[in-house]
Amino acid sequence: MAGGYVPGSGNQYDALVEQLRDFGRRLAELETPTGTSMNSLVTQVQQAIANITATVTAAIAANSYTKVQIDSKIASPGAIAPTTATTSGDVQVGGKLLNPDAVSYVITTPRYTGWIETSTGRHGNTSSSRRFKQDIVDAQIDVDAFLSVVPFLFHYIAEVRKRDDPSFEEYIGPDYVVADEYGLMAEDLDAAGMTPWVYYDADGRPESVNYTMLVVPLLAAARQQQEQIASMTSAITDLLARVAALEGAAG
């Protein structure tokens, strides 16, 4: 067949099959990277990883604190820019809870007296409404025992140490002015049987006085005094009436 395909001595399709196989080998070689292309690809991947690492490291450095910075801010919280923190859960403070602005902030709006729950340290208030009370009876208060408790003028030991003891961690110096304090001794209230107005420590020792609730025995003392005055006034009025009657009879 002039100018056309000349088959071999075997099957007429053998040459075509061989050519197809040759094309397959070439395609396989094209799809399989050579050593050079493989090295180039690895280099590109390594460079990309290095770029990503550098970007992440820079982002962390720009938006994070180091351990030294964190320790510094914990040690000096006042250096942190003021902000408002809001949480829906509980916040527990292991150290001191400080609010320096509280002593200078004047509250003119309706307000509550603050209380601290002894067992948990929670801050809150108490209610004086009958709506929250039951088993209400007249209180029996020993007014004479209450009035036997003597008020004192005193200084707190820690305050004196601020002035006199250089080894004290809160020592200020000899120019520190120790404030005069007026109050009662918890032990005296306890001894007088006024235990509802005494706070006790974990060992059962008198620790503090509930000054806010002292208004109750004070009111009882005032009421007793008013009753005595009323009784004396009535007796004096009766005596004056008798004297007037006697004078009238004598005249």
Residue ranges per structural domain of the chain? 142-210
Q: Which residue has the higher pLDDT, 45 or 130?
A: 130
Supply the mean pLDDT for the chain: 83
User: What's residue 81's pLDDT?
Assistant: 59
- Calculate mean pLDDT across residues 92-112: 86
Average pLDDT of the segment spanning 25-36: 62
What contacts 24+ positions apart, CB below 8 Å, involve 235-238? none
CB neighbours (10 Å) of residue 146? 19
Residue 207 neighbours by CB under 8 Å, 6+ apart: 186, 198, 199, 200, 201
For residue 9, name the pLDDT band (cuts at 50, 70, 90): low
Which range has the top average pLDDT, 68-77, 86-95, 179-188, 229-238? 179-188
Q: What is the model's pLDDT at position 170?
A: 94
Q: What is the dihedral of CA 141, 146, 147, 151, to 10 degrees?
A: -150
| Mean pLDDT, range 21-44, rounded to an integer | 65
| SS3 at position 113 | coil
Whether the predicted pLDDT of 129 surpasses 80: yes
Backbone region of residue 121 per phi and psi (left: phi > 0; alpha: psi in -120 to 50; beta: other values): left
Please name every residue paired with 182 in a beta bridge, in sequence order, or none if there are none: 153
Q: In this structure, what token pair is assigned to residue 217? A: 């025995």
Is residue 200 classed as helix, strand or coil in its secondary structure?
strand
Total-model pTM? 0.58
With cut-offs at 50, 70 and 90, classify the pLDDT of residue 134.
very high
Name the band, by pLDDT with cuts 50, 70 and 90, for residue 5: very low
20: tokens are: 């197809």
C-alpha distances in Å from residue 23, one per residue of 7, 10, 14, 20, 219: 19, 21, 14, 5, 112
Residue 93 Cα to chain centre, angstroms: 5
Q: How far apart are CA 24 and CA 21, in angstroms?
A: 5
* Element at 130 (helix H, strand E): none
